[in-house]
Amino acid sequence: MAIVAPSFLASDFLRLEQACKMVDESKAGWFHLDIMDGVFVPNISYGLPVVEHIRKTTRKICDVHLMIVEPGRYAEAFKKAGADVLTVHIEACPNLHRNIQQIKELGMKAGVAVNPHTPVALLEDILQDVDVVNLMSVNPGFGGQKFIPYTLHKIKQLKQMITNRGLSTLIEIDGGVTMENAAGIVAAGTDVLVAGSTVFNAKDPKAIIESLYNL
């Protein structure tokens, strides 16, 4: 049974309050909030004020995914805005250990995101310090993309690394999660399912969240 983390990038921003209420009342465990800067990824999403307002609607985990350059500059601000988990990209952090320690010292869980082309072996020396690994199963920057099948191999490889070292690091899959592929993704070893379009484009989003939750 995986944690379901609806991605608000796919929500209707004219009805954001209703979307927050729906997710808060659903079986979802986390709110997944994507921050894009138009530099690290070719798109701009939303920023601190939106996170701050979403935080006020729920006591559930706010999982903030920074797809930005120089994430260390903003870690404290996102803590103040209400992030419980703060995820930075390995590709954006030349001093990743420093970023992870900063996040933990601020009182948040620390996540590391890995783009599709980045080998999970690069996490070997930092894995013991990380609470969540976000394996990107699409190229970051846009919602609604198709799941990259090779990600299943990466999930299994990462799960083995975690198991071999007796760690409790969570594996989060972000991108292209559908009702058709979610069971296989969970079976491969995933702990957290990020789902955007699958949830927010559904006629009955709560029912979709419950179906994902019950896998």
Catalytic residue among 12, 174, 191, 204: 174
CATH number at residue 129: 3.20.20.70
Phi, psi of 51 (to 5 degrees): -60, -45
Spatial separation of the C-alpha atoms in residues 134 and 172, rounded to whole Å: 5
Report in angstroms the alpha-carbon separations of 22 from 10, 46, 57, 178, 205: 14, 20, 10, 19, 8
Name the helix (H) or strand (E) containing 51: helix 48-55
Q: Which DSSP state fits 146?
A: P
Residue type for position 159 = K
Q: What is the pLDDT of residue 35?
A: 97
Instruction: Report whether 143 belongs to an annotated binding site.
Output: yes
User: Rg of the chain's alpha carbons, rounded to an integer?
Assistant: 16
Instruction: Report whether 82 belongs to an annotated binding site.
Output: no
Q: What is the pLDDT of residue 98?
A: 98
User: How many domains, the chain?
Assistant: 1
Spatial separation of the C-alpha atoms in residues 167 and 183, rounded to whole Å: 23
Q: What is the pLDDT of residue 141?
A: 74
Q: What is the pLDDT of residue 145?
A: 79
What residues contact 179, with CB distance under 8 A and at least 6 apart? 198, 208, 211, 212
User: What is the residue range of 126's domain?
Assistant: 3-213
Instruction: Report whether 144 belongs to an annotated binding site.
Output: yes
- Tens digit of pLDDT per residue, the chain (215 long)? 899 999 999 999 999 999 999 999 999 999 999 999 999 999 999 999 999 999 999 999 999 999 999 999 999 999 999 999 999 999 999 999 999 999 999 999 999 999 999 999 999 999 999 999 999 999 987 766 799 999 999 999 999 999 999 999 999 999 999 999 999 999 999 999 999 999 999 999 999 999 999 98
Spatial separation of the C-alpha atoms in residues 16 and 20, rounded to whole Å: 6
Instruction: Report whether 197 belongs to an annotated binding site.
Output: yes
Catalytic residue among 34, 37, 131, 191: 34
Active site residue 34: yes
Q: What is the pLDDT of residue 84?
A: 98
Q: Which tokens belong to 78?
A: 């996102």
| Structural contact between residues 11 and 19, judged by C-beta atoms closer than 8 angstroms | yes
pTM of the shown model: 0.96
DSSP output for 80-115: HHT-SEEEEEGGG-TTHHHHHHHHHHTT-EEEEEE-
Instruction: Report whether 72 belongs to an annotated binding site.
Output: no
